[in-house]
Chains A and B, each alone.
Chain A
Amino acid sequence: MNYNWDWGVLVREPYLEWLTSGFTWTIVVSLTAWVLAFSLGSVIGIMRTTNSNLLRRIATCYVELFRNIPLLVQMFLWYFVFPELLPQDAGMWVKRGMPMPEFTTAAICLGLYTASRVAEQVRAGINSIGQGQRNAGLAMGLTPAQVYRYVLLPVAYRIIVPPLTSEFLTIFKNSSVALTIGVLETTAQARQIEEYTFQGFEAFTAATVLYIIVTSIVMLLMRFVEGRVSIPGMISLGAK
């Protein structure tokens, strides 16, 4: 193979700056999307476990809609199709007017998609607890909302730390799809460096390492969280 290795490209300007900026966008898009995914996903997941038929149905529709359309297609739908469905002025605002349209669209799209997956985990966590705990809470006079707040959710979230960790990791990796609508995140910048310098191996190695660094940090963080919230005397909550 005739390839001119040049690792120095990674620390030369403007390429270093491109990578740094790309990495920052990866983090910003992912964290924004995660905040949305976690909060909305929790609400939808809880709705799927309530006694209300209407709430359950709405939540089920949400989950089935958002998890069954490929993320890439959703990205295009939000960016290219959604503004056209709005009244002209509003559509124009979404395309040009709102601050950082590509970033905003990507973060919302990724957040809504991931929310459907978080919702399923929250639902599974709550359902694994069983009717007995719910009854015990109700029997002592707690309202259904208080039962969720003080009895079901604290245990449910503990149970789903491992799958939520996977989801949190996935959101960083999925954020690369945002490049298709013009967010210059890590992968987009690596590609750009490759196009300018033909040093594709170096550029994508750098991107890979950056993703590994961030996912490693997330894993360590979640392991710390899991340790902090573990319950003395309980080996496996889910097995109860």
Chain B
Amino acid sequence: MIQLQDVSKWYGDFQVLDTCSTAVSKGEVVVVCGPSGSGKSTLIKCVNGLEPFQKGDITVDDVSVGDKATDLPKLRSRIGMVFQNFELFPHITVAENIKLAQLKVLNRNEAEAGQKAMQLLERVELADQADKFPAQLSGGQQQRVAIARALAMDPIAMLFDEPTSALDPEMINEVLDVMVELASDGMTMMVVTHEMGFARRVANRVIFMDEGRIEEDCSKDEFFDSQRGDRAQTFLSKILHH
């Protein structure tokens, strides 16, 4: 489904991604972790072309992201993305947030989009908040709306960029629960997160990144059980025993 082939990226002279290659197949959940500044967020933003890259190629459903001729808006509309800071649009209601791209990108009609919005809000247990504005919701609720907003486009894959990092601890689980459910429904997911509990529960594979390189790319069991490289070991011990 998602293929990364020797992706490299520079900010000026500084190399943020160094020949990263991996693949996410259909229905697979891949967790990307690593210390801050390791390039994991940049990597996931390259997948839907929010960040340009200079070398290598990424294909999603056999469409090349780096190719200038690719219709990026169209490709992006098929890949859902959830951000660290939710990024709901503050000036429109929760329901309108979920309808916006359905109406403007997929050209669904108002009734269809509204129905889809309500259906998804029920799924994330926020149907009663449909007419509120984002700022009137808690962080956890906002992130669940953001997930519903991404799902409204019927994506073939979902990207999560540290979806729980900006949340208060008591709200993390309500968001993770939605993601776990999504994974068990067979959604293809690429998740940048430090939530190792989540990785243990639902990940098929774990990618560990450091200094722009993919240092480890192995199955969940291998990652948590077997001998790893020093860096990954140090990183894991830091985040598991804080």
Which B residue sits closest to A131, measured CB to CB? B50
> In residues 114-136 of chain A, which contact B (Cβ within 8 Å)?
132-133, 135-136
Of A30-38, A96-104, A215-223, A228-236, the one with at least 4 CB within 8 A of chain B = A228-236
Q: Tell me whether A142 is interfacial, beta carbon within 8 Å.
A: yes
Q: Tell me whether A69 is interfacial, beta carbon within 8 Å.
A: no
* Total chain B interface residues with beta-carbon distance under 8 A: 32
- Measured between beta carbons, the chain B residues less than 8 angstroms from A135 are 45, 50, 81, 83, 87
- Measured between beta carbons, the chain B residues less than 8 angstroms from A154 are 91-92
Q: Tell me whether B73 is interfacial, beta carbon within 8 Å.
A: yes
CB proximity of B48 to chain A, nearest CB, Å: 6
- In the bound complex, CA of A227 to CA of B123 (Å): 35
Q: Tell me whether A237 is interfacial, beta carbon within 8 Å.
A: yes
Which B residue sits closest to A151, measured CB to CB? B89
- Measured between beta carbons, the chain B residues less than 8 angstroms from A9 are none
> In residues 132-174 of chain A, which contact B (Cβ within 8 Å)?
132-133, 135-143, 146, 150-151, 154-155, 158
Q: Tell me whether B100 is interfacial, beta carbon within 8 Å.
A: yes
Which A residue sits closest to B153, measured CB to CB? A140
Check A232 against B133 for contact (C-beta < 8 Å): yes
* Total chain A interface residues with beta-carbon distance under 8 A: 23
Chief secondary structure at chain A's binding surface: helix
- In the bound complex, CA of A169 to CA of B63 (Å): 53
- In the bound complex, CA of A36 to CA of B108 (Å): 36
Binary contact readout B51-71 vs A (1 if CB under 8 angstroms, 0 otherwise): 000000000000000000000
Binary contact readout B78-106 vs A (1 if CB under 8 angstroms, 0 otherwise): 11110101011111100000001100111
Check B136 against A232 for contact (C-beta < 8 Å): yes
- In the bound complex, CA of A216 to CA of B73 (Å): 46
Check A233 against B135 for contact (C-beta < 8 Å): yes
Binary contact readout B139-182 vs A (1 if CB under 8 angstroms, 0 otherwise): 00000000001100100000000000000000000000000000
